[in-house]
C-alpha cells in the first residue's frame, strides 16, 4: 500500500516538475498570421499584455516581421515602401524578407527563447510562403528554399491564423483609414491567392495552426487565443511526461 502511494507520489511529482520546466522555463514561440484587416496585430498586442500580467517575472517580447531589430526594420522600410523610380523584383522581394528574418530571429527571438521567455511575432516565414509563394506565384517550395537557411530550426510552437474573405479585410482597412503599405495595395486576386496559401499551410501543419475567424468579435478572438495557449501548455507537459514514463 505504502509502495503504491509512494509510486503515485513520484509520478505526480514528475508531471508537476515537467509542467514547471515547460511552462516556466522552456521558451515559447507564438506566431500571428493571416490576411490584412482581420485583427491579427491587435490580438498579438492583447496577448502580449495578458502574458506580461500572468508571468511578470518572465521575459516576454512582441516582435514583427519584417522587423524586430534595427537592421531588419531598415530592410522592412525598403520592402514595404512604394517607389515610383524603381520596382522591387519579385525574387529580390523574397530574398529581402528572408534576410530581415535571418537577422531578427538571431538577434531578437533566439536569445529570448534560450532564456525561457515567450516570443509573440506578428508574422513569420509562413507569411513569405503565402505572400511570395502563392500571392506572387513564385511557388511555395522555392520560397521555402530561400528561407530555409534563414529560419533553420526556429519555427513557431503555435500559429494563430486569422482567416476571412480578403475583400472584407481590405474594406475594413479603407474604412478604418489604416496606414497601408505596398503589399496592402495589391489587387484583390493577389490577396485571394495569399489566403489560399495560408489555408494550404494550415492543412499541411494542422497541429501547429489554430484558425481564428477574422470576422468574429475582438472578445471572441481573444477568448479562443487564450484557450488555445493554455491547451498548448498542457499538451506540451503531457507529451514530455510520456517521454519519461
Give the residue ranges of the annotated binding site for ATP: 34-41
Which residues lie closer than 8 Å to 213 by C-beta, 6 or more apart? Answer: 163, 164, 220, 221
Beta pairing partners, 119 = 29, 61
Distances (CA, A) of 163 to 5, 115, 198, 210: 49, 32, 8, 10
User: Residues at the annotated binding site?
Assistant: 34-41
Nearest to 79, CA basis, from 127, 23, 13: 127
Report the C-alpha gap between 169 and 163 in whole angstroms: 9
* Residue 156 near residue 66 (C-beta atoms within 8 A): no
Nearest to 225, CA basis, from 23, 26, 19, 31: 31
Q: Which three cell numbers stand for residue 41?
A: 496585430
* Residue 183 near residue 80 (C-beta atoms within 8 A): yes
Containing 194, the helix (H) or strand (E) segment is helix 188-204
Amino acid at each position: 500500500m505504502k509502495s503504491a502511494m509512494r509510486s503515485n507520489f513520484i509520478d505526480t511529482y514528475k508531471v508537476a516538475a515537467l509542467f514547471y520546466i515547460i511552462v516556466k522555463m522552456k521558451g515559447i514561440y507564438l506566431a500571428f498570421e493571416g490576411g490584412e484587416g482581420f485583427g491579427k496585430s491587435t490580438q498579438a498586442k492583447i496577448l502580449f499584455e495578458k502574458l506580461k500580467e500572468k508571468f511578470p517575472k518572465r521575459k516576454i517580447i512582441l516582435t514583427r516581421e519584417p522587423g524586430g531589430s534595427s537592421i531588419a526594420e531598415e530592410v522592412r522600410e525598403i520592402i514595404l515602401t512604394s517607389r515610383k523610380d524603381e520596382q522591387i523584383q519579385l525574387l529580390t522581394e523574397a530574398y529581402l524578407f528572408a534576410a530581415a528574418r535571418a537577422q531578427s530571429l538571431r538577434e531578437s527571438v533566439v536569445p529570448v527563447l534560450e532564456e525561457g521567455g515567450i516570443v509573440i511575432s506578428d508574422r513569420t516565414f509562413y507569411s513569405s510562403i503565402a505572400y511570395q509563394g502563392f500571392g506572387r506565384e513564385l511557388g511555395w517550395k522555392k520560397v521555402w528554399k530561400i528561407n530555409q537557411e534563414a529560419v533553420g530550426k526556429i519555427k513557431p510552437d503555435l500559429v494563430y491564423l486569422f482567416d476571412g474573405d480578403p475583400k472584407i479585410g481590405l474594406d475594413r482597412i479603407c474604412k478604418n483609414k489604416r496606414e497601408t503599405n505596398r503589399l496592402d495595395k495589391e489587387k484583390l486576386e493577389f490577396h485571394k491567392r495569399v489566403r489560399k496559401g495560408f489555408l494550404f499551410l494550415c492543412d499541411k501543419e494542422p497541429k501547429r495552426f489554430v484558425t481564428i475567424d477574422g470576422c468574429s468579435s475582438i472578445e471572441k478572438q481573444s477568448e479562443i487565443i487564450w484557450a488555445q495557449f493554455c491547451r498548448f501548455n498542457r499538451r506540451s507537459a503531457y507529451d514530455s511526461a510520456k517521454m519519461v514514463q
